[in-house]
Structure 1
Amino acid sequence: MAVRIVPAIKPGHCPGGLMRRSRGLTAALVLSLAGAGTGIGLVLMPQASAITQPVAFTADNLPTWQPNGIVWAMDEANGTVFAGGTFSAVRPPDGGSGAEQDAVNFVALDAATGAPTACKLSFTIGDGTATVRTLVVSKDKKTLYAGGYFGAVNGTPVSSLAAIDIASCTPKASFHPSFPATVRGLAVTDDTLYAAGDFGTVEGQTRERFAAVDASTGALKPFTANADEPGRAVEVTPDGKNVLLGGDFFSVNGSNTHALAVVDATTGKVAKTYSTIPSNSVVKDISTDATGFYTGNEGSGGGVFDGRIGLRLSDFGEKWRDRCLGATQFVLPYEGVLYSSSHAHDCTLEGQFPDGKRNFLLAQLTDHDGPAPAPVDGFVRSPRKLGWHPTANDGLGEGIGPRVMAVAAKNDVKYMWVGGEFTLINGKPQQALTRFASTGDVGAPTTPVASADSVKPGEAQVRWRTSYDQDDSKLTYRVYRNGSASPVATVAAESLEWERPQASWTDTTVKAGQSYTYRVTATDAAGNTSALSATASVTIPASVQTYPNQVRADGAQLYWRFDDTVSPYVADSSVAGNTSGVQLNAPALRQTPGAVTGASTSMGFNGTSQQVYSDHRQTVGTAYTIETWFKTNTTRGGKLVGFGSNTERSSGSYDKHVYMTNNGRLVFGASNGSAKTVSTGLFDTYNDNKWHHVVATQGAGGMTLYVDGQNKGSLNSASTQTYAGYWHVGGDNLSGWPTRPTSNFFAGQLDETAIYPTALTQAQVKNHFDLAKAPSDTVSKVTASEDTYINQGAPSTAYGTSTSLAVRGTSAYETYLRFNLPAAPAGQVLKSASLQVKTTTQAGAGTADTVSVVPVTGTWSGAGTTFNTKPTLGTTPLGTLSAVPDGSALHNVELDTTAVSAVLGTSYSMGLTSTGTDPLWLWSSEATAADAAPQLVLTFGPK
């Protein structure tokens, strides 16, 4: 089969309870100024911008006492958070002070400190394991209701439901309605307490899975909403007229409705039924805000619904559906954002991250911030995810991770509390409870990974993969050139944990033949700044590099040149595509020679696990072109380039690919529901360990395969299946395709991969092939083999081992540099030459004077040269450097090309001298600072 669509399957989960969230916290978010940084580009933001709004909490977890089991339930009142579950003790946070305390299935904690309060309650049962599954606080904040499976609270007999006087922290002995089975959910009004669970009777009367009792006395009320399967969630609409029911059921009061129903708050009469939740999914939680209500859903098996639904309170109809997979346990709307706990691992149906790692805590808008999108498969997609992404783990029990959430306030600070089964938060040990504040964002973004490229004079393209910040999706990037402390550009860009687009900036002030370095930082809204990226270096060509320039001119929207120097990202060199790649399992970098003449390098792949994929999810239009260069001697075949529905994991849908068979033939495949392929001839094999150029096009004219500029075959197949996915280089699924090779992965080198949104013509393909072999500029960088300076104030001192060099007119400092110059490559001439030096970090290292670079005509050595023995300098300058600012930075001096050409292939010395009184201090070749050593940058090209 051509494209294999594999339904998402998730492991089954045992039934589990939860409940309740804090209500009515609508006070304005209080944010604090947070400052951190590297010292470069530090920006102090106003308080209201400390977190990327509308996210209301940082992702920096605070020290919190932790139970030794599982937290199922949570609510708050007056700055105290109540947590219930299945545990026997609480202990301080790791590294905190204090001794472990007994806490039998319940603990009360100070919202601001995370430490236990004086309120101690013990929930026990004579037979079996007691557990607290749901907590809810009365509207007047005076009573805490607890449900679960227990027979006593502090020795006071109860039956799986209890009322606690919050002020005295004592159970109300007069409140003891009899619930003979587990209570899993509670909701309360001024006078009524609603319960959901496993029970079939209450007080000896039939109440199947849902019931209502008097909130003061516990007396059973007439409300009847009998369901055929367990109830897990119950919520009252804000107007008090209706009750929202969630659970496993398929009928309520005889009406067919699965997992969700709306009933009258007084009688229990069914007001709204639902039939669109799959039969293998249940509702685990329901919450409301002023205009809507939201469900958290869990299921098991094929076609499962595991995400969230947003519904209107006006007519109880569905507004949107989030079909991410991953067992949603809890939903909490707060100030326009829906926070949720789950282990979402596949949001493909939402146009977001594919099946992969688990994301335990998410935030998204409660409503679309513009017109709702058109339905997909009959459902309106959910509002966008936001940049709030603390990490957790599966943890204990069922391995669900977080299960319950609550917002509490104290001292004008809001706290998001999270409980569940997890044992790690943000990668550090923390069990069952954690919390996040509305203030104090201290987490800096990850460090950008930068690269630089130039394909023509006067232009350098600086690219970086956007950083990730757990609570800020909008980041500010600053670009620093040649080590300067002041940025040359500021760029704003958005990113999420699973969506890290490339950002870029084009420097149009660069000069041909000179080298430049760039570093980038990322700053969040609170002013926290990442470390500087590693240095990205580029030399500006003296003439247009014809091959890459033509690829860009012909409209490539993805262009991976594989000249990257660091892992794990691959830069996109297209004009505006910004579709960077992610290296998987460490392909080999900087393999030489590359496919294109000049300084190009390639990437090596091992044929078993290595690839590069784009994490930019997209669909491919009706016309496209795939282009790459390859070199291999493999006999196991493999995929060179292709499109697939997943990133790191093997794709379930895959086509629009070029792969090699075991004997070295090439196959271009695309699917319109069945496999359509074009192959090279029986004897056209290309595993000869030589560079080859392959281009595959599809469009209105059908499919065509080109190799080394020649048409190797066509097929009249213009249509292709449309699905969202990612481009892959070096490997991905090939199951079911004709002449499938032994390996899905390619063993060999790949270079200059490009994807176009059009079908290139044969003339364009041939032109690319020819340009790759055309003469091109090459750059040689020659580091000083020896350097020193002389000092008139110490006329007998030699400075040959000094880490710095100095230049001044009066009293005199002079610097001498020696270079072993290469000869010009055959058929090429020197097109440009420049001297690159770097000022030191000492105060006043720059100079206001003009420094001249002149030939050294006398002899000298680093060990023996002093002011008294200094060599003679020439009088005709090779180049000049003027007005060098203070601060350590790189500087280029353009040199006389004719003069340098005359001394190619020799050991050549030059001196630096000036006539003023302001000294220039430079690093020498003995210095260990980055890019410290003086060097010549020589550009050679065709005559």
Structure 2
Amino acid sequence: MRRSRGLTAALVLSLAGAGTGIGLVLMPQASAITAPVAFTADSLPTWQPDGIVFAMAQANGTVFAGGTFSAVRPPDGAAGTEREAVNFVALDAATGNPTSCKLAFTVSDGTATVRALEVSKDQKTLYAGGYFGAVNGTPVSSLAAIDIATCTPKAAFHPGVPATVRALAVTDDTLYVGGDFNAVDGQTRERFAAVDAATGALKPFVANADEPGRAIEVSNDGKNVLLGGDFFSVNNSTTHALAVVNATTGAVTKTYSNIPSNSVVKDISADATGYYTGNEGSGGGVFDGRIGLNTDFSEKWRDRCLGATQYVLPYDGVLYSSSHAHDCSTELEFPDGKRHFLLAQPTDHTGAAPAPVGGFVRGPGKLGWHPTANDGLGEGIGPRVMAIAEKSDVKYMWVGGEFTLINGKPQQALTRFGSTGDVGAPTTPVASADSVKPGEAQVRWRTSYDADDSKLTYRIYRNGSATPAATVNADSLEWQRRQASWTDTTVKAGQSYSYRVTATDAAGNTSALSASVSVTVPTAVQSYPNQVRADGAGLYWRFDDTVSPYVADSSAGGNTGGVQLNAPALRQTPGAVTGASTAMGFNGTSQKVYSDHRQTVGSAFTIETWFKTGTSRGGKLVGFGSNTDRSSGSYDKHLYMTNTGRLVFGVSNGSAQTVSTGLFDTYNDNKWHHVVATQGPGGITLYVDGQNKGSLNRTSTQTYAGYWHVGGDNLTGWPSRPTSNHFNGQLDETAIYPTALTEAQVKNHFTLAKAPTDSVSKVNATEDTYVNQGAPGTAYGTSTSLAVRGTSAYETYLRFNVPAAPAGQVLKSAALQFKTNTQTGAGTADTVSVVPVTGTWTGAGTTFTSKPALGATPLGTIAGVPDGSAVHSVPLDTAAVSAVLGSSYSLGLTSTGTDPLWIWSSEATAADGIPQLVLTFGAK
């Protein structure tokens, strides 16, 4: 019998404050995890058997593990030598090391195994069931009682069970037994029986089942017993896999008929609020998940994740489970794909439960506890059994099974996790930045993953500052890492800004800084992207990303990022719209992008994208589907191209409903085209290059939870299906709206895509140096730092190859960008002036005694630079810089005070360290 123990861990965390170093957070302890999860995901060193663990129990800080194995060995890399352990081992809960208790479970014919362990309520007796004939040589028959204090079998306890025992539950005076047997002590007891807990004498309890018993749990009031297994009847009453019987007589008190015939109950557990089952099956229509029952044994929820649940363990309001769950689509969680072996979820819904779907109330959503395992040995099940033990005020979650890896490292059959000591930092955020109008820059990042913290704190650092510009909290799970974002409204037009982001968990573990991302704020509104945002796009992928696998959402708050699959080609030029935008290239066989979280789509929506291709194999441009990296089982709301280059837009309301371009209206001509598809009260409509290509009065569509796809997904069964499901070509500026755009809006977007827009050139210094009055004959052309001071004098010189203005454009703004270095006091309290260099100089030959002449009129000034390594920008006189476009031009940095400024030179390797001119060009 397993119950949720009242070992409430006071996992209270408090933020002491932020340190001065980037990303440093000082915490009073390093053991906090996101409530209500009670255990870290960091596995602790544990001795490991050479086989499979099928059963566990615990008493007084000792964990007992049984199964099919012959020895235990130290954790990989730890000292110690292998020890004999014949199907049983006792281990210290706090150290993971074997204790002095040694028991050998053997059999004269066949392979002995221990399949069930249970500890008496007084913690003095360990009951073991399985298939064995002796314990340390003492004859038994698949069921034994062990005196825990002396670690010896109780010879007087020897009920005769002629077949495998698979389940045990104990009260003060009764041991309930389930398994494969048909008799006990020569009397008929089919698959379930009860014996005296002290003597082993058979009791009158009769609950005969037609197939093996696998699970037993005594009700909270002791009046009933819950039975689980493969059976279809108990005491001739029809009930499959689960039944409730009288604890004294075995008479059936409740039957169940809604567990599929190809599923069985592998485990039953209880807490004060109800009961929980773990279920396994095979074949179509299988039920592989968990059921939550009320105290009256009625069903309160059913988690229909697929993946052979082996064990359920409630603890402090959380149901921990072991399985190899691979598809939680019915729970609106991860789709069919990779296996998740250890999960946690609340034992009940918070607030009102969701409405039933398909006759069942969905299970409570999964929590942020996600240690990893593998299929391992034997049946390839992975984890099979769990137990919670306490020692020295620390709680330990023990897990046993068939696995050979835990968290990616070798560890066989046994592992454990503590309630303290969270040391794993979140993954490093992947960031990007964008700006489409003056005064505003959007910083976006793919949320990080932390195996035991679903609520993370993100700090955004601007221009290399050690002080965060903003702090944002966001949730994430292993299978759902939705974009988070922050808008910087203090930026100035024409200037460049860089950003880095860190993630910190509840224990204060902090990720590395993200790679630096930069953005130049335009001097005028960028018409096309600004209108897409203004018209309400909830997903806007501009495909200007520089790294895999993240695709940023540029919408105004939709935060629906994308995940690249199989590395589509980045930064393809020219993009579809004027300006610096780039496109993404797809190979037509395996590459695509899917959205980063599951959602549903209403009866009104718009799909918009630009494409360019010469393919003759067609493919899906944009669509909605039920899976992510695998082919979707449900799929519609899509735009696809036929082999001949025609475009088709389709939705499904039980059958495919489509509109398409004309027979000779084809678009595989290697030119950029704009396509928009809408559904709303007026039906479905397809637009290409601003023109209405057809409508159909279909206002309904199937509703399911899924993901947006760009570049490919299933097209099976759709009209004029192309050769390829995947698109071979370039895509750009993909947007999804929760409304149907009007024809006027569509035409406006097409027109705005060709509207003039600002372009930005960032020009690195080609040569730089400084001079030092204190060392008048020394040249500093190879120095990684540059200095500026009035007395005694330092002067810095920078040379740039300034580009000419693009055709039809003029310089609209100019700025000099530099970064202070990391030495103490690198900033200055003095005003620094940027002036033209009128004399000649070289990096290698210029010294204080041969320094060049400087112009008298400053091009720009900065009134003081704070200490700390950070990027700074000095606006320059636009007219003066315009006069030198298309030439080599030198700038000098000077000041009149005594406080030096130290900055990185072009020889430095610091991120954003090279001095730059930032030039913004726009229409005349």
Residue among 93, 106, 127 paired with 2:109 = 127
Equivalences, count:
923
Quick check: 2:763–2:917 contact (8 Å CA) kept in 1?
Answer: yes
Partner of residue 14, structure 1 = none
Question: How far apart, in 2, do the equivalents of 1:864 and 1:77 lie?
Answer: 80
> Which stretch shifts more, 28-37 or 802-811?
28-37
Once the two structures are TM-superposed, the CA of residue 573 in structure 1 deviates from its matched residue by 0.4
Once the two structures are TM-superposed, the CA of residue 48 in structure 1 deviates from its matched residue by 9.5
Runs of 5+ in structure 1 lacking a partner? Answer: 1-19
Partner of residue 343, structure 2 = 362
Residue among 255, 259, 272 paired with 1:273 = 255
Partner deviation per Cα, 1:261-316 (whole Å, 9 max, x = no partner): 11111111111111111111110000000120000000111111100000011x21
Question: 2:301 aligned with 1:330, yes or no?
Answer: no
Partner of residue 163, structure 2 = 181
Partner deviation per Cα, 1:405-453 (whole Å, 9 max, x = no partner): 0000111110000000000000000000000000100000010000000
Secondary structure of 2:748's counterpart equals helix
Partner deviation per Cα, 1:182-227 (whole Å, 9 max, x = no partner): 1000000010000010111111111111100000000000011111
Partner of residue 593, structure 2 = 612
Question: How far apart, in 2, do the equivalents of 1:49 and 1:401 lie?
Answer: 27
Partner deviation per Cα, 1:531-559 (whole Å, 9 max, x = no partner): 00111111100100000000000000000
Partner deviation per Cα, 1:611-645 (whole Å, 9 max, x = no partner): 00003111111111100001111111110000001
Question: How far apart, in 1, do the equivalents of 2:463 and 2:264 lie?
Answer: 59
Amino acid at match of 2:328: C
Partner of residue 914, structure 2 = 933
Partner of residue 507, structure 2 = 526
Quick check: 2:4–2:313 contact (8 Å CA) kept in 1?
Answer: no
Runs of 5+ in structure 2 lacking a partner? Answer: none
Question: 2:343 aligned with 1:383, yes or no?
Answer: no
Question: How far apart, in 2, do the equivalents of 1:24 and 1:363 lie?
Answer: 16
Quick check: 2:20–2:466 contact (8 Å CA) kept in 1?
Answer: no
Question: 2:149 aligned with 1:167, yes or no?
Answer: yes
Amino acid at match of 2:329: T
Question: How far apart, in 1, do the equivalents of 2:11 and 2:540 lie?
Answer: 45
Question: How far apart, in 2, do the equivalents of 1:32 and 1:74 lie?
Answer: 32
Question: How far apart, in 2, do the equivalents of 1:549 and 1:188 lie?
Answer: 68
Partner of residue 900, structure 1 = 881
Partner of residue 76, structure 1 = 58
- Normalised to the residue count of structure 2, the TM-score between the two structures is 0.99
Once the two structures are TM-superposed, the CA of residue 247 in structure 1 deviates from its matched residue by 0.5
Secondary structure of 1:720's counterpart equals coil
Residue among 650, 654, 668 paired with 2:649 = 668
Partner deviation per Cα, 1:703-732 (whole Å, 9 max, x = no partner): 111111111111121211111110000000
Once the two structures are TM-superposed, the CA of residue 45 in structure 1 deviates from its matched residue by 3.3
Question: How far apart, in 2, do the equivalents of 1:668 and 1:384 lie?
Answer: 35
Quick check: 2:837–2:892 contact (8 Å CA) kept in 1?
Answer: yes
Partner of residue 779, structure 1 = 760
1:493-892 mapped onto 2 (5 Å cutoff)? 493-892=474-873
Q: 1:549 to 1:49 in 2, by over 3 A?
A: farther
Question: How far apart, in 2, do the equivalents of 1:797 and 1:152 lie?
Answer: 90
Secondary structure of 2:25's counterpart equals coil
Amino acid at match of 1:430: Q
Once the two structures are TM-superposed, the CA of residue 153 in structure 1 deviates from its matched residue by 0.4
Secondary structure of 1:550's counterpart equals helix
Partner of residue 67, structure 1 = 49
Amino acid at match of 1:254: N
Question: How far apart, in 2, do the equivalents of 1:465 and 1:24 lie?
Answer: 38
Amino acid at match of 1:120: K
Question: 2:203 aligned with 1:221, yes or no?
Answer: yes
Question: How far apart, in 2, do the equivalents of 1:27 and 1:552 lie?
Answer: 48
Q: 1:49 to 1:151 in 2, by over 3 A?
A: closer
Question: How far apart, in 2, do the equivalents of 1:128 and 1:212 lie?
Answer: 26
Partner of residue 113, structure 1 = 95
Q: 1:64 to 1:39 in 2, by over 3 A?
A: farther
Residue among 389, 414, 420 paired with 1:439 = 420
Question: How far apart, in 1, do the equivalents of 2:198 and 2:336 lie?
Answer: 48
Question: How far apart, in 2, do the equivalents of 1:37 and 1:183 lie?
Answer: 58
Secondary structure of 1:349's counterpart equals helix
1:136-535 mapped onto 2 (5 Å cutoff)? 136-313=118-295, 315-535=296-516
Question: How far apart, in 2, do the equivalents of 1:107 and 1:802 lie?
Answer: 65
Secondary structure of 1:193's counterpart equals strand
Quick check: 1:595–1:751 contact (8 Å CA) kept in 2?
Answer: yes
Identical-residue share of aligned pairs (%): 84
Q: 1:861 to 1:790 in 2, by over 3 A?
A: same
Partner of residue 3, structure 1 = none
Question: How far apart, in 1, do the equivalents of 2:13 and 2:309 lie?
Answer: 31
Partner of residue 16, structure 1 = none
> Which stretch shifts more, 350-359 or 869-878?
869-878
Quick check: 1:878–1:899 contact (8 Å CA) kept in 2?
Answer: yes
Quick check: 2:343–2:370 contact (8 Å CA) kept in 1?
Answer: yes
Once the two structures are TM-superposed, the CA of residue 24 in structure 1 deviates from its matched residue by 3.1
Quick check: 1:37–1:530 contact (8 Å CA) kept in 2?
Answer: no
Quick check: 2:3–2:271 contact (8 Å CA) kept in 1?
Answer: no
Q: 1:647 to 1:709 in 2, by over 3 A?
A: same
Partner deviation per Cα, 1:341-364 (whole Å, 9 max, x = no partner): 001100000111100100000000
Question: How far apart, in 2, do the equivalents of 1:84 and 1:818 lie?
Answer: 75
Q: CA RMSD in A?
A: 1.4
Once the two structures are TM-superposed, the CA of residue 814 in structure 1 deviates from its matched residue by 0.6
Secondary structure of 1:677's counterpart equals strand
1:39-58 mapped onto 2 (5 Å cutoff)? 39-47=21-29, 50-58=32-40
Once the two structures are TM-superposed, the CA of residue 26 in structure 1 deviates from its matched residue by 2.3
Amino acid at match of 1:773: K
Question: How far apart, in 2, do the equivalents of 1:110 and 1:37 lie?
Answer: 38
Once the two structures are TM-superposed, the CA of residue 370 in structure 1 deviates from its matched residue by 1.2
Quick check: 2:2–2:270 contact (8 Å CA) kept in 1?
Answer: no
Amino acid at match of 1:423: T
Once the two structures are TM-superposed, the CA of residue 22 in structure 1 deviates from its matched residue by 6.8
Secondary structure of 1:616's counterpart equals coil
Once the two structures are TM-superposed, the CA of residue 30 in structure 1 deviates from its matched residue by 5.9
Quick check: 2:809–2:922 contact (8 Å CA) kept in 1?
Answer: yes
Q: 1:89 to 1:140 in 2, by over 3 A?
A: same
Once the two structures are TM-superposed, the CA of residue 33 in structure 1 deviates from its matched residue by 9.8
Question: How far apart, in 1, do the equivalents of 2:326 and 2:250 lie?
Answer: 37
Amino acid at match of 1:825: P
Question: How far apart, in 2, do the equivalents of 1:34 and 1:417 lie?
Answer: 30
Question: How far apart, in 2, do the equivalents of 1:823 and 1:42 lie?
Answer: 45
Partner deviation per Cα, 1:239-272 (whole Å, 9 max, x = no partner): 2111110011111111111111111111111111
